[in-house]
Amino acid sequence: MARILAIDFGEKRIGLATSDASGRLATPRRTLSRKSDEAALEEIVRFCREEEIGVTLLGIPRSPDGIESPFAARIRSFAKKLHAKTGLPLKFHEETLTSVEAARRLSPGSPPEALDAAAAAVLLEDYLAAEEPGR
């Protein structure tokens, strides 16, 4: 299975998490400070090459009714740019409450940046669990 890069996209920070080669474990990796799409894309493309990523996964926020939030269009726009630069397969997965779960897992006093990478890991864990039958 190709390694997956999960991206928790935000206008200020972007959290990154990766799967292991078996597609069973999700690990928070790093948080990028987003200054512009171009700068963020450069860093993510470099990260994908260095880490031998085969698939990118972005979270799409939804309302409790299941309707995509207005911010989802922004995430899809960024994802389209990322796909154009990497050519990697692109997947989307619902990310509602990933930040809440990530905050619950972090120890008190963790730096604010840790939340973004942890939220990306929660997103990836949820995606992997949904994709693996019987898990």
Extract the tokens encoding 93.
Answer: 């997965």
pLDDT in tens, 21-34: 888 899 999 999 99
Q: What residues have CB less than 8 Å from 46, skipping those under 6 apart?
A: none
Domains in the chain, number = 1
Q: Give pLDDT, residue 133.
A: 57
Residue 79 confidence (pLDDT) above 90: yes
Residues of the domain holding 41: 3-131
pLDDT in tens, 109-133: 888 889 999 999 999 999 999 987 5
Q: What percent of the chain clears pLDDT 90, i.e. is strictly above it?
A: 76
Q: Is 109 left (phi over 0), alpha (psi -120 to 50) or beta?
A: left
* Mean pLDDT of the chain, nearest integer: 92
CATH code of the domain containing 57: 3.30.420.140
Q: What percent of the chain clears pLDDT 70, i.e. is strictly above it?
A: 97
pLDDT in tens, 38-77: 999 999 999 999 999 999 999 999 988 889 999 999 999 9
